[in-house]
Amino acid sequence: MEVTQNLSLIHLILQASIPVKFVLGILLAASSMSWWHIFLKLFALKRAKGETDSFEKEFWGGADLNVIFQRVSQDREGAGELERIFEAGFREFLKLRRQAGASVNVIMDGTRRAMRAAYQREMDGLESHLAFLATVGSVSPYVGLFGTVWGIMLAFQSLASVAQATLAQVAPGIAEALIATAMGLFAAIPAVVAYNRYTHDIDRLSNRMESFMEEFSNILQRQATRPA
Weakest mean pLDDT among 33-42, 63-72, 136-145, 152-161: 152-161
- The per-residue pLDDT for 3 is 43
* 161-179 pLDDT tens trace: 666 656 666 666 677 778 8
Percentage of residues in the chain with pLDDT exceeding 70? 85
Q: Tell me how far the alpha carbon of residue 218 is from its chain's centroid.
A: 32
Weakest mean pLDDT among 20-24, 63-67, 207-211: 20-24
Kindly state the average pLDDT of the residues 62-82: 89
- The per-residue pLDDT for 12 is 66
- The per-residue pLDDT for 163 is 61
* 138-160 pLDDT tens trace: 999 999 998 888 888 877 777 66
Query: Could you write out the DSSP letters of every residue in the chain?
Result: -PPPGGGSHHHHHHTS-HHHHHHHHHHHHHHHHHHHHHHHHHHHHHHHHHHHHHHHHHHTTT--HHHHHHHHHHTTTTS-HHHHHHHHHHHHHHHHHHSTT--HHHHHHHHHHHHHHHHHHHHHHHTTTHHHHHHHHHHHHHHHHHHHHHHHHHHHHHTTT-SS--HHHHHHHHHHHHHHHHHHHHHHHHHHHHHHHHHHHHHHHHHHHHHHHHHHHHHHHHHHTS--
Percentage of residues in the chain with pLDDT exceeding 90? 58
Weakest mean pLDDT among 70-74, 127-131, 146-150, 211-215: 146-150
Q: What is the pTM of this model?
A: 0.83
Weakest mean pLDDT among 3-12, 56-65, 129-138, 207-216: 3-12
- The per-residue pLDDT for 4 is 46
Q: What is the rounded average pLDDT for all residues in the chain? A: 86
